[in-house]
Structure 1
């Protein structure tokens, strides 16, 4: 029988390899954000088109994650992880050599296919390997990947783009992914039982068309208008296909994605809060670089350095928030975190041409403190409330909703910014003020960004209101105990 120190060591190396892979996956997701203004010029595309490098990545994640519940039953932890890292490797290689926007987007989508598998897999491993009373600490370590990677990405990207070129973001990533694959071959073991479930191809098609239609509708509304026949067709079509997908999953005895997890109040509320918080986080990661570089003339490196203190604080706070969750539960941490978030977002709803660099740095630090107290505690609380049999589905649902919320949120804020910028430009033209074309674009863009941030603040307030009604730790723990009791056969009690 394995002794305790040896078991802990095996847990440690398993979590380390998975965390490293997850860190690189999420880093890839957001590392291009600060480079978007430069890429718009290089490939001669609009803001609505270039944002597909971010939203397309999240959409593929959102489409693929539902399948991971099936994949985690069908394949071993080792097989899935190594396969996902190979996809990440191939996508990274294509991005490094991409001569056109189309090929760069293709590489991003292949990267996303690999990244989509990793986060649900990592969460499922934690739920299997760690006892409930220690999961907060383990999930806090996952927070390093989920929050620190997107936070540190702009700083790394800023440094690389300032002294080399954006291609080196992927050239530098390539050997790191190779190292993770080598570590996985040597140290990764399987932690769950495999079976041969049937793959629901119709369910996959319905979810793909549903999520894809919604995202495309949101992302094109900025250019074509909310009343456009094309926009309305994709939005309505997306909703219809998603309803059909939900109906099929609820009617199935072996669903692709077990949506019955939403019958659990704690899980449902945690997922809703997580979705709103994710939209806030990704909105800020898109809007702030556009403001700093397009409207204020800061370099990519200066943008990255502004975000660095908040990123470093994230690295310190994530494990601490995990321990605080184990002690106090999710609700008090979430309420405090959301107060920080709402204050930080409200602080950038009135940006101007004179907003100081130091002010923006301090508000970003406040935002990152809030995110550290929110993301993993809320996720862990939701997953802890489910029975063991629903772990894989709970993890898949959590990550699906998170990715789709991030993708739709990003598209929505860019659309709001684009539409609002056009309206403000027309107002400024008719105001009688004589402005140069450059000044007109700059002022109208800043006003459009302010409107997009105002919408983001509303999302934060909604998340706060939902959190107020979240069950306390004792109530949640009681629910978990009841769930576990219900899964034990009568003769075994």
Structure 2
């Protein structure tokens, strides 16, 4: 039986370590959705289509997905402080360059540089929590950190809407630059090295296969809206994506020192929790892209008003997320997660039946309950999932869960936006000269289609949540770990 010793740190020391990580993570994830409300302005300013502009959100998360095998390697090769400062440096450079970009190509490239920084920041933060907090306190600590993961992206549209009332889109980047610099200074002062370095060797072929796998999969899904599912480019991209992931998986299972320990998926509760997290993370990112688009295109709202309508849900999420972490430490995950998915099932059903007569107040209330459900799900699920692993596999577990969350958010937003656009196009194709009312009806039909797809996924996750267990760490015949009871 393995006994995992925690670092002997005081509460003050833990807080000082977490402050720069929380600040950096908040800024990076806020930046994920900061451009969502600006899409109409960007299409006009950069002379590109809406589907093209969508790549600014998708590519940001795509580059995070490409870092799948690299993140665990980096956390076991470089100290916490070095890795954090490198990640914030990349993010800051990308932010400056995005602010000065004058073309869509330049903006997209430097947006991906930002994504590279974000892709390292979140795993560093989660892995540090697992390292410096004992198991019985992880729920509360994870709840505080997950305020960032969900609250920062949800408040992005509100802040960007406010700025776009008075400034152009360039200031969306310039406005967060001082905070990024502050995060770097704070990291230099208070961040300590807490990681356990094993100095593994990097496997270049694993990186290449992962890039082809995740890159091809997300590119294919993102291209369905504009090219159609049966298009050659889409089919080849999806084929390369699935093929790359299969080869990547096989290689990890044969390496003595894998880049990413995929045998962790033989832990039943780790696998189940990861699947639930992937579905739950599709929802907030997708909702916060679909609704601002609907508000502006169908209801004629300004960018600021569209962002402001999402603010109550964001505030509720900020309140409930740490509370759900505290409740997890007391009552466990299953009841919280199941309740959350029941709430989401009701709200997505209502969202999937939006019509021209649905008023703004109703949509805001549905958005509130959506984020109430999400708040009850994410913290308990992520904490319970990572608690299944022995300490020596923390970095691999964190890399897997954090990256798959980002990939699922990218796939979810692309899938739902694609369904919305496809349904809208199909509706309008039947009309020769659609008037304004018919165009609004087309938008509503697309929104209903997107939320119907989300409803199906949530029902699947609800069923999966009924099988959640806790209190044990499971192992299989490969004996990649030792078992121990978790209280």
- TM-score normalized by the length of structure 2: 0.94
Q: 1:6 to 1:485 in 2, by over 3 A?
A: closer
Matched, 1:389 2:356: no
What is the alpha-carbon root mean square deviation over aligned residues? 1.9
The residue number in structure 1 matching 2:82 is 79
Give unmatched runs, 5+ long, in structure 2: 1-6
Q: CA deviation at 1:426?
A: 2.5
The residue number in structure 2 matching 1:445 is 443
Residues 384, 480 of structure 1: 8 Å contact kept = no
Count of residues in correspondence between the two structures = 476
Q: CA deviation at 1:485?
A: 8.9
Deviations 1:385-420 (A, max 9, x none): 111111100000001211111111111112211211
Residues 37, 294 of structure 1: 8 Å contact kept = no
Residues 66, 400 of structure 1: 8 Å contact kept = no
The residue number in structure 2 matching 1:486 is 482
Alignment of 1:175-324 (within 5 A): 175-324=178-327
Residues 89, 177 of structure 1: 8 Å contact kept = yes
Residues 65, 120 of structure 1: 8 Å contact kept = no
Q: CA deviation at 1:267?
A: 0.5
Matched, 1:362 2:365: yes
Give unmatched runs, 5+ long, in structure 1: 489-493
Q: 1:384 to 1:162 in 2, by over 3 A?
A: same
Q: CA deviation at 1:353?
A: 2.9
Deviations 1:331-368 (A, max 9, x none): 11101111121222222112233321111111111011
Matched, 1:95 2:89: no
Q: 1:127 to 1:206 in 2, by over 3 A?
A: same
> 2:44 and 2:362 mapped to 1: Cα distance?
29
Q: CA deviation at 1:46?
A: 2.0
> 1:57 and 1:410 mapped to 2: Cα distance?
12
> 1:248 and 1:449 mapped to 2: Cα distance?
41
Alignment of 1:409-488 (within 5 A): 409-429=412-432, 435-436=434-435, 438-471=436-469, 476-479=470-473, 486=482
Deviations 1:87-146 (A, max 9, x none): 110111011111111111112100000000011111111111000000000000011101
The residue number in structure 2 matching 1:119 is 122
Deviations 1:286-337 (A, max 9, x none): 1111111112211111111111111111111111111001011111110111
Comparing 303-312 with 71-80, greater Cα deviation is found at 303-312
> 1:478 and 1:411 mapped to 2: Cα distance?
36
Q: CA deviation at 1:442?
A: 2.5
The residue number in structure 1 matching 2:107 is 104
> 1:305 and 1:272 mapped to 2: Cα distance?
32
Deviations 1:240-290 (A, max 9, x none): 111000101111111111101100011101000000111122221111111
Matched, 1:14 2:49: no
> 2:472 and 2:418 mapped to 1: Cα distance?
43
> 2:8 and 2:401 mapped to 1: Cα distance?
32
Comparing 403-412 with 171-180, greater Cα deviation is found at 403-412
Residues 218, 231 of structure 1: 8 Å contact kept = yes
Residues 268, 474 of structure 2: 8 Å contact kept = no
- TM-score normalized by the length of structure 1: 0.93
